[in-house]
Amino acid sequence: MTLIVSATSAIVLSLAIALVALVPNSNVIAAMFPPWWDAATIFEAAAAAGDPVRVGRLPWVVIVRGDPAQLAKRLHAAGAFLVMDSRFFAGCGFQ
């Protein structure tokens, strides 16, 4: 029984962290674009949504700066399939 409670708690905590990460309210957001897009298309899409700051080690991840009220929505409209607060990418060379 203890194992089930521990596993359930770990899952709930992981989901809570993921939900916080997926609801960015920062002016700097990490955006993941389709990996089959070429670099120029990804950069153009990111630039249409905000100001691209840098590209990640994975070329389809771009850190973008912009208006926190609209940035995530604009990135999704530009083709990003996932947007997250860039602080969650600190271990990947982003600041």
Write out the chain's pLDDT in tens, 95 residues.
Answer: 776 767 676 665 555 455 444 555 678 889 999 999 999 999 999 999 999 999 888 888 999 999 988 999 999 999 999 888 776 665 444 44
Q: According to the model, what pLDDT value does residue 88 have?
A: 63
What pLDDT does residue 93 have? 45
pLDDT at residue 24, rounded to an integer: 57
Provide the CA 13 distance to its chain's centre, in angstroms: 19
36: phi then psi, degrees, rounded to nearest 5? -85, -5
pLDDT in the model for residue 36: 94
